[in-house]
Amino acid sequence: MNSNEQLELLTARHVDLFSADDLKKKLEIAAKEKRGLRIKYGADPSAPDIHLGHVVGLNKLREFQDAGHTVVFIIGDFTGMIGDPSGKSATRPALSKEQVLENAESYKKQIFKILDPEKTEVRFNSEWLGEMKFEDVIRLSAHVTVAQLLARDDFSKRYADNRPISLVEFLYPLVQAYDSVMVEADVELGGTDQLFNLLLGRELQKIYGQPPQVVMTLPLIEGLDGVQKMSKSLNNYVGVNESPKEMFGKLMSVSDELMWKYFLYVLCRTPAEIETMQANVASGELHPKAVKDELARCVVDRFVGEGEGQRASEEFARVFAQNQLPQDMLDLELPAEEIGLINLVVKAGFAPSNGEARRLIQQGGVRINDEQLTDIKAIVTPVAGMILKVGKRKFARLKV
């Protein structure tokens, strides 16, 4: 591909770009020097699972790789122990070193479901940040003013509302920007909530005598609720490591409006392809449910394996359309003694805590042998073959 063709491919689906001219120049210089650009992408391993929200950025990174460039995937093991409020009204909790390293290992395994490992350079920012002395931090801090930091939207809102902002939080965008200097990034990608931090990287590179990186932001897609951005903490996510059944069922629950975004940003369908599908839905030639089924099948095939999407689709139809029980139901062994309904739900692994189990019961999401139970004090006497159902997709057969 020539530079113009690359530019068209690589800038598709972006939100902010600083700037297209800079990117074109970098592509032309790299082509003359017969080398690839260094594309920086940072991820703080605050949770061990990668979900479809992360896939938006990983898809773009893969496009850069396919065009001959190198992805520098920075795992923020050091910054993950600080906490970052980007896009939030409060600081994200800091993690222990053990938690960060455990999550980082999980990240490394999952990103290669999308990225080419031969064109990926995985770095941990503790390599350079962990070696800095206090005097180095002071010198680095001298390059940025408080006024510059308060220009960041979430900081300015909290300052205006007289809510506290710690100095640690002020340091976070600075050290993220310093990462760009240390890996000599040509381009940095991130979500729209990271725009300030990415632009600060450009400024810091200039100060250190490096060509400023091109900054590209990508959209933050809404989660299953259709309102807030996809997040594990909000439990509105689809993880790339989930079972085919769980992944398929979650995707079938998204709204008709939201599924088009998933086609565009997760499966990278072209706007023309999406417009054709939308026209077919509008004309009645296609039912929205059939389109959503295609979305779910394609996502499952991509992250689990070819053919798994069709099997998940058939199982979904059998269980939900025909009101039958799933074939691969969990067998839950219990002693022949009474057990509280809350404990039963937790023991089956269908709720992470008693509080969550209580909420599910009160909301009418728990059934035994298709009988809805809403009494949080209910006591169950296990009987072999009894079916526990939680929500729409979780089933367990009791074995005594």
DSSP 187: E
Phi, psi (rounded to 5 degrees) for 49: -105, 140
Query: Does pTM surpass 0.85?
Result: no
**Can you read off the two tokens belonging to residue 98?**
């053990």
Residues 153 and 93 in one domain: yes
Q: Is the pLDDT of residue 47 over 80?
A: no
Residues 198 and 314 in one domain: no
User: What's the average model confidence in pLDDT over 263-270?
Assistant: 96
User: What's the average model confidence in pLDDT over 259-279?
Assistant: 96
Decide if 238 is inside a domain.
no
Decide if 291 is inside a domain.
yes
Cα angle for residues 61, 65, 71 (degrees, 5° grid)? 60
> Element (H or E) spanning 368, and its range?
strand 366-368
- Cα dihedral across residues 354, 253, 225, 103: positive or negative: positive
Decide if 101 is inside a domain.
yes
Q: What are the angstrom distances between the C-alpha of 156 and each of 89, 151, 216?
A: 11, 6, 23
Place of tokens 């000599």: 184
Place of tokens 């390059």: 143
pLDDT band at 167 (very low <50, low <70, confident <90, very high): confident
**Can you read off the two tokens belonging to residue 171?**
């340091």
Residues 207 and 250 in one domain: no
**Of the residues 300, 321, 342, which one is the last residue of a structural domain?**
321
**Which range (20-34, 216-230, 370-384) has the least confidence?**
370-384
Residues 393 and 304 in one domain: no
Q: Which amino acid is at 144?
A: V
DSSP string, 270-299: -HHHHHHHHHHHHHTSS-HHHHHHHHHHHH
Q: Is the pLDDT of residue 89 over 60?
A: no
Q: Which amino acid is at 374?
A: T
Q: Which amino acid is at 272?
A: A
Range of the domain at 392: 330-399
Model confidence over 221-252: pLDDT tens digits?
999 999 999 988 788 999 999 999 999 999 99
Residues 272 and 355 in one domain: no
Task: Tell me the H-state helices in the chain.
Answer: 3-10, 20-32, 52-66, 97-111, 126-129, 134-141, 146-150, 153-160, 167-183, 195-207, 244-252, 256-265, 271-283, 288-303, 308-316, 341-347, 354-362
pLDDT of residue 104: 81
Model confidence over 129-152: pLDDT tens digits?
999 999 999 999 999 888 888 888
Pairing of strands 38-43, 16-18: unpaired
**CATH value at residue 208:** 3.40.50.620
Between CA 6 and CA 146 the distance in angstroms is: 38
pLDDT band at 77 (very low <50, low <70, confident <90, very high): confident
Residues 6 or more apart whose Cβ sits within 8 Å of residue 126? 77, 78
Decide if 183 is inside a domain.
yes
- The answer to whether 235 and 251 have CB atoms below 8 angstroms apart is no
Decide if 288 is inside a domain.
yes
**Which range (36-40, 153-157, 322-326, 380-384) has the least confidence?**
322-326
Q: Which residues pair with 399 in a beta bridge?
A: 333
DSSP string, 159-184: HHTT----HHHHHHHHHHHHHHHHHT
Place of tokens 């006591």: 379
Place of tokens 């632009």: 199
Residues 334 and 289 in one domain: no
Decide if 235 is inside a domain.
no
Residues 15 and 121 in one domain: yes
Between CA 296 and CA 310 the distance in angstroms is: 9
Decide if 293 is inside a domain.
yes
pLDDT of residue 324: 66
Q: Is the pLDDT of residue 204 over 60?
A: yes
pLDDT of residue 169: 81
Decide if 228 is inside a domain.
no
